[in-house]
Amino acid sequence: MVQQQENTASGTEKVWFITGSSRGFGRVWTEAALQRGDKVAATARNVESLADLKAKYGDRVLTLALDVTNPEQVKSAVESAHAHFGRLDIVFNNAGYSLVGTIEEASADNIRALYDTNVLGPVSVIQAALPLLRRQGKGHILGTSSSLGHVTYPVIGYYCSTKWAFEAIYESLAAEVKQFGIDVTIIEPGAYATEFGSQESLKFAASLPVYNDFKAAFVGNLRTIERGNPEATPEAIFSVVDAPNPPLRLFLGSHTLPEVRKAYAQRLATWEAWEAVSNAAQG
């Protein structure tokens, strides 16, 4: 409460636009921003899931129905939030879900739907926000990726691929918009005890019996992974959005860097072992 009063009194509050505010990290970060005295345009497919935020935080929160796969609705929501608050300081792409299924099992429709939400949805938000942020001459675009934007697991390979695509888009974006005074940061959580594993956040491809044992073993291994506390993450997010020179990437959790360091060491070892073959192909 002290932090909230200080932010409001000093006029240093930030204005956020957050997708996927109804549950998981989106909910945690939306409430944390409001609790510290910031203002938030909180969005979700079902706006009724945000009613308690409106009741608790009043005019400091604007709740909007938003399906990120609908570009027209995205544009309308971003522009409405900007008009309502007069500016947007932080645009945070957080909405997404995971597809469970091997590479063979997932259908083209499964994959298209996943990319519509996890890749094209964030792009729609970015494209809607950029004209407004350019006119402001400042802004910070954040996005929730994953440690799986650097490593891959079987059975959720298509989900991993959306995060690799997300990372590439954000990295290119950072170089393109730096000239306009706009910062870009990719948030990369490891395993956390959120609702991400719930039925609302997972979709399943049709199953082929030949993979049943493999998938059962994979799911069993996932259950043994130590999961972080999502309520411990807001201060890390605030450190990034309040930094004068925010990083392009930020891991959340203590297990991600060792895993990624190992993966990149293995890649470098392979490339170096085959360096002579690669060099000979130069011609």
Report which secondary-structure segment, H or E, holds 40.
strand 39-44
**Number of domains observed in the structure of the chain:** 2
Q: Are 81 and 189 part of one and the same domain?
A: yes
96 and 152 assigned to the same domain: yes
Q: Both 282 and 180 in a single domain?
A: no
- In whole angstroms, how large is the CA radius of gyration of the chain? 20
**Residues 214 and 138 occupy one common structural domain:** yes
Do the Cβ atoms of 103 and 155 come closer than 8 Å?
Answer: no
Active site residues: 145, 159, 163
Same domain for 89 and 31: yes
Do 200 and 184 belong together in one domain?
A: yes
Based on the domain organization, do 210 and 264 belong to the same domain? no
For 53, the domain range is: 2-252
Per-position pLDDT tens, the chain of length 283: 334 444 543 458 999 999 999 999 999 999 999 999 999 999 999 999 999 999 999 999 999 999 999 999 999 999 999 999 999 999 999 999 999 999 999 999 999 999 999 999 999 999 999 999 999 999 999 999 999 999 999 999 999 999 999 999 999 999 999 999 999 999 999 888 876 555 556 899 999 999 999 999 998 888 888 888 999 999 999 999 999 999 999 999 998 999 999 999 999 999 999 999 999 999 9
Residue 274 and residue 204 share a domain: no
Closest Cα partner for 17 from 97, 84, 70? 84
For residue 220, give the CATH number of its domain. 3.40.50.720
Residue 10 pLDDT: 40
Do 105 and 204 have their domain in common? yes
> pLDDT per residue over 168-183, tens digit each?
999 999 999 999 999 9
Same domain, yes or no: 248 and 262: no
CA-CA-CA-CA torsion sign (70, 71, 76, 79) = positive
* Contact (CB, 8 A) for 144 and 91: no
Alpha-carbon gap, residue 198 to 222, rounded angstroms: 14
pLDDT at 224: 80
Residues 100 and 180 in one domain: yes
Q: Which of 155, 230, 217, 224 is nearest to 190 (CA)?
A: 230
pLDDT of residue 199: 54
- 99 and 36 share a domain? yes
- Output the pLDDT for position 197: 53
pLDDT digits (tens, 9 = 90+) for 219-272: 888 888 888 899 999 999 999 999 999 999 999 999 899 999 999 999 999 999
